[in-house]
Amino acid sequence: GRDWESHSVVWMAINIFIFVWFYFLYDLGDRFFYTRHLLGSALAWARAPAAVLNFNCLLILLPVCRNLLSLVRGSFVCCGRTMRKQLDKNISFHKLVAYMIGLMTAVHIIAHLLNVEWYYNSWHGEYDALSMALSRLNDSGNTTYLNPIRSTTTTPNLLVFTTIAGITGVIITLALILMITSSMEVIRRSYFEVFWFTHHLFIVFFAGLVIHGAGRIVRSQTNANPPYNITFCKDHIEDWGKKKMCPVPQFAGGFPQTWMWVIGPMVLYVCERLLRFIRYIQAVKYRKIVIRPSKVLELQLVKNGFKMDVGQYVFLNCPAISQLEWHPFTMTSAPEEDFFSVHIRSVGDWTQKLISIVEQMGVDGPFGTASEDVFDYEVAMLVGAGIGVTPFASILKSIWYKFKDSNPELRTRKIYFYWLCRETHAFEWFADLLQVLEREMEDRGMGDFLTYKLYLTGWDQSHATHVMVHADADTDVVTGLKQKTNYGRPNWDKEFEQVCQENPTSVVGTFLCGPVVLATVLSKKCVKYTDVDPRKTKFYFNKENF
């Protein structure tokens, strides 16, 4: 919420600063005086977006280097809680940077199209004597000219489609348009392979980007320093080369800089993909395959050297279904177990096919998520919706192992767990774990450590009647747990008020794995119930993002 907005503001402020700085550099600099005379303000409007593009092209690959993000999240002690939360917004930031690249590209293209037209008109003497003189400067070495149009046969179209800057500009633009349009959610969900293939045009995009500046189309005066007197010389063309203060103006293109901005992220991304490929070819063995009720597939897998933390997720690939599709799943196993597991609910074509084809599987990960931070808080509110309970299965299992082995030194002293499901069958595969935890906590006299509430959001009249008949039973008719199932949706104001009352001076981490609508509600509640007094209850919202 607020932290994401503040970091977005910082990013936007840097973009604005770069734009303004380079705008005035080209709009006021003496060495661009003659260039501005030919091109007007379009010079600055072309170069300022180019500088912003360099900055954002540096950033665009970093949010999709998942191993790098996991390293930063998990390994660096100096990376505080607020900073780690921002890492969970990696895909949102990736999209934000992409939109900025699209916007700046549009401005850059429009300005340069105007520049090409004005170069052409200046060559043909349509403006004034100075423009004509600058365009027709004698340049036998073909190195000190100002106007890139050097002959009467050169047209604006020829300049765009035959020069290095022009050709690469066209290629970059086409690649960018295809990448952005194919990233629309409707295409990504319905035609994943179209999205996957077109998104890999980023290779073409970056290759063109590195070469683009080699054309050195935008040129500046190399002998603009004193004793050169622009104020006098611009009005006395006839004195060029005759007076000491007016040598014939000489020009050169700027040194290409884009490669210096993007080479680091490109190397990091290549290393990222190499690491993913090495992981992909490593053998994955099946320890156990179980088809749970409600078409939930549990896979227990073993892979040499695999280490995980609570709340992390992996990408799974099944070549028998699709060579390209990788789907994220939160691990439901605990780090203390000698395998890692995922629970996969049948909700679409890929998962339906997977349940019938589980003979071959590739694993890429694990990658860090917000749920890793659950043990950093004194109090944790865990909210899972449907199969969104998976990261919390991992967390609760880990807690069980910690208590089982010894008296753990946990910073967390209280956990509130909420699970929302539309149908009764969805509870079945997870109820066993909760029953074990229930008994374990009671045996240790720690019944207050875990408070959990289950909510059934959809039911029919026959089910309601059945529940009423068994209302006096010791255990819940749906789950078999001592904690009775609630019907309907939680009253979040009431729940947050209860947490505040029971933990008046605590920092509470609120974790959600569920839909965006619920995320919006919980995020607002965290803001609403965070006390302005730093000594009282404060809530921090965290959401799973794949």
| Residue 80: predicted pLDDT | 60
Tokens of 194: 């179209």
Burial call 31-42: b when 16+ CB within 10 Å, e when fewer: bbbbbbbbbeeb
pTM over 0.75: no
Which is higher by pLDDT, 100 or 403? 100
Residue 499 has pLDDT above 90, yes or no: yes
| Dihedral over Cα of 84, 85, 88, 89: its sign | negative
- Give the confidence band of 267 by pLDDT, cuts at 50, 70, 90: very high
Q: What is the DSSP string of 486-502?
A: EES---HHHHHHHHHHH
What domains sit in the chain, N to C, each tagged with a CATH number?
A: 2-163+217-275 (no CATH), 283-367 (2.40.30.10), 370-543 (3.40.50.80)
pLDDT digits (tens, 9 = 90+) for 342-374: 998 887 788 888 888 775 767 787 877 777 788
How many Å apart are CA 379 and CA 539, to the nearest integer?
A: 9
CA distance 530 to 42: 49
pLDDT digits 0-9 by tens, 305-335:
888 888 888 999 888 888 888 888 989 888 8
| Alpha carbons 333 and 339: distance in angstroms, whole number | 7
Q: Is residue 3's pLDDT more than 70?
A: no
Which three-class secondary structure state does DSSP give residue 351?
A: helix
| pLDDT computed for residue 510 by the predictor | 92
Q: Could you give the percent of the chain with pLDDT greater than 70?
A: 87
pLDDT, averaged across the chain: 84
Asked whether the predicted pLDDT for residue 82 surpasses 70, the reply is no
Does the pLDDT at position 539 exceed 50?
A: yes
**Tokens representing 372?**
């890793």
pLDDT digits (tens, 9 = 90+) for 96-141: 999 999 999 999 999 999 999 999 999 988 888 999 999 988 776 6
**β-bridge pairing 538-543 and 414-421:** unpaired
Q: How far is CA 470 from CA 323, 422, 424, 463, 484, in A?
A: 50, 21, 16, 11, 11
Q: Which of 520, 499, 521, 517 is nearest to 509 (CA)?
A: 499
